Amino acid sequence: MTTKIIMDTDPGIDDAAALTMAINDPSLDLKLITTVAGNVTVDKTTANALKIVNFFGKNDQIPVAGGAVAPLIKPFEDAARIHGESGMPGYDFGDDFGQPLAKTAVEALRDAIMAEDEVTLVPTGSYTNIALLFSQYPEVKSHIKQIVAMGGSISGGNMTSAAEFNVFTDPDAAKIMYNAGVPIVMVGLDVTLKALLTPASQEKLLEMGEAGKMLHDLVTHYNDGDDQDGHPMHDVNTIFYLLHPEAFTTKEMWIDVVTDGPAIGATVGDVRGAYHDGKVNAKVCVDIDAAAFNKWFLEEVAAMNKVDCNN
């Protein structure tokens, strides 16, 4: 039985790897990809999503819709310093990779979600599209099984000492999402900074056909992590969680999002259950089997068995 998912994303190198896994794993049924401004501008994130879909010859099966060009309130700040100016440097995807849907991401999300009984949302960029969706079309909430979101942290940030990038980019959207009443799994820095794709794993990708080469070439241009310990594949952890939740340790708690001041973008966990009458709004991933992550990552790519993914 497959899990129906929709990915809302901002490719981005680790997003590209997450899309690669979602497109190819037979246990997942990827219904739609929507894009948002985040790692780079939305025109680039949309083009990058199309490049990955086209790489695997899925243009006719997996639609892509472009979304929010900026956060709800906060000025936009990209992560080109980490992902390069294009967002996906290192591999030549060519110039003919298709076009996005004419409809907006929010419209596409509404239509795709309402067409399903249960669907899992997997946001791996800022949550602007999700917030706009819930604000404009609250009826979709009852059709969403859960949200498995990359972002946040209860142990420290990567934009400030408190804030992780996706939440920092649009904290107002994150607050709307966490207060929406939809089940949320927070896959944040608490686990993604532990699940590094090791140098040994990166080298093995070169033995795994064109898909492996593509991922290798992207990851080696990734300015997050280092060549000695490895690179954090932040967004890929959402897919790993969907397929192997047993590899994660989780704690349920209420997450508040800070929307102004020096701690803007912080996700504050009520770890004692002291401030929300014992209520929780998230299952927070706090630990991960990093060795299992590396093993799974390589097994996924090997199973693609793509010699020439463009044919």
Neighbours of 143 (CB within 10 A): 16
What DSSP state is assigned to residue 230?
B
H or E segment to which residue 106 belongs? helix 105-114
Pull the structure tokens for residue 263: 């701690």
Pairing of strands 267-269, 255-257: antiparallel
- Residue pair 95/55 in contact by the 8 Å Cβ criterion: no
CB pairs under 8 A, 24+ apart, for 142-145? 143/113, 143/114, 143/116, 143/117, 143/118, 143/119, 144/113, 144/118, 144/119, 144/120, 144/182, 145/118, 145/119, 145/120, 145/183
Catalytic residue among 231, 234, 244, 276: 234
Q: Cα dihedral angle (82, 153, 187, 198), rounded to 10 degrees? A: 50
Whether residue 234 lies in the annotated active site: yes
Catalytic sites, residue numbers: 234
